[in-house]
């Protein structure tokens, strides 16, 4: 037995293949991001729960922590919806709400909690947070589902397919944005000298 992070990462890779678009609203301001951390968090079928893990570096993290509400959207892989899915992914996952309003660039409605619903998504669950686990660089949020809808039925977009279709310039920009996020996470986990 040994500890090898490379092998650990191979074991852990791809466990959550579906990117989700998470939106929230806090003090009247709406925002959101893309996440690969979405999961189901209830064994009781009549009382579903959803979970997401958000990095503290991201604005959406602080907003969900404060407001206690989020909407988790699946994206569509259907040919007539794919461009919209990539637009959502690039808009919410490519820059921070700290640098400007992202939500007004997308077609939205308003959910039960006041958080924005992305009308071009495949589907969504809207949740109220019932528990938060602080894990140094991130928080894991678990929420009771209070509303749900299938907006555009069909196949859901997987991250492998999305990476193959995203423009190279956007991926380069994403990589550049990812760097400070990673450094921030290391500093929170290991201390400022990490």
Ligand X SMILES: Cc1cc2nc3c(=O)[nH]c(=O)nc-3n(C[C@H](O)[C@H](O)[C@H](O)COP(=O)(O)O)c2cc1C
User: Interface residues with ligand X (CB under 6 A)?
Assistant: 19, 31, 33-37, 53-55, 58-60, 93, 95-98, 159, 174, 181
CB atoms within 10 A of CB 56: 17
Minimum Å distance from CB 46 to ligand X?
28
Q: How far apart are the C-alpha atoms of 96 and 77, rounded to whole Å?
A: 25
- Closer of 131 and 153 to ligand X (Cβ): 131
- Closer of 45 and 100 to ligand X (Cβ): 100
For residue 20, give the nearest of 64, 44, 68, 54 by alpha carbon: 54
Minimum Å distance from CB 47 to ligand X?
24
- Closer of 60 and 85 to ligand X (Cβ): 60
Minimum Å distance from CB 54 to ligand X?
4
- Closer of 18 and 146 to ligand X (Cβ): 18
Asked if 22 and 54 count as a contact pair (C-beta separation under 8 A), the reply is yes
Minimum Å distance from CB 111 to ligand X?
18
For residue 33, give the nearest of 87, 83, 86, 97 by alpha carbon: 97
Give the H or E element holding residue 6. Answer: helix 5-12
Q: How far apart are the C-alpha atoms of 121 and 56, rounded to whole Å?
A: 25
- Closer of 117 and 162 to ligand X (Cβ): 162
Report residue 3 as tokens: 């500890």
Minimum Å distance from CB 109 to ligand X?
20
For residue 22, give the nearest of 77, 87, 89 by alpha carbon: 89
User: Residue for token digits 């990462």?
Assistant: 9
């Amino acid at each position: 037995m040994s500890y090898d992070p490379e092998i650990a990462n191979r074991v852990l890779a791809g466990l959550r293949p579906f990117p989700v678009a998470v939106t929230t609203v806090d003090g009247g301001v709406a925002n959101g991001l893309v996440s690969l951390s979405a999961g189901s968090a209830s064994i009781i079928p009549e009382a579903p729960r959803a979970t997401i893990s958000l990095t503290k570096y991201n604005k959406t993290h602080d907003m969900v922590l404060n407001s206690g509400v989020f909407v988790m959207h699946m994206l569509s892989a259907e040919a007539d919806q794919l461009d919209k899915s990539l637009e959502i992914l690039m808009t919410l996952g490519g820059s921070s709400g700290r640098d400007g309003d992202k939500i007004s660039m997308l077609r939205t409605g308003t959910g039960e909690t006041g958080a924005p619903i992305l009308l071009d998504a495949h589907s969504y669950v809207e949740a109220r947070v019932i528990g938060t686990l602080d894990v140094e660089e991130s928080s894991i949020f678990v929420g009771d589902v209070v509303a749900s809808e299938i907006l555009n039925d069909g196949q859901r977009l997987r991250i492998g397919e999305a990476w193959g279709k995203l423009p190279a310039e956007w991926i380069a920009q994403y990589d550049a944005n990812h760097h400070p996020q990673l450094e921030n996470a290391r500093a929170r986990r290991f201390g400022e000298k990490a």
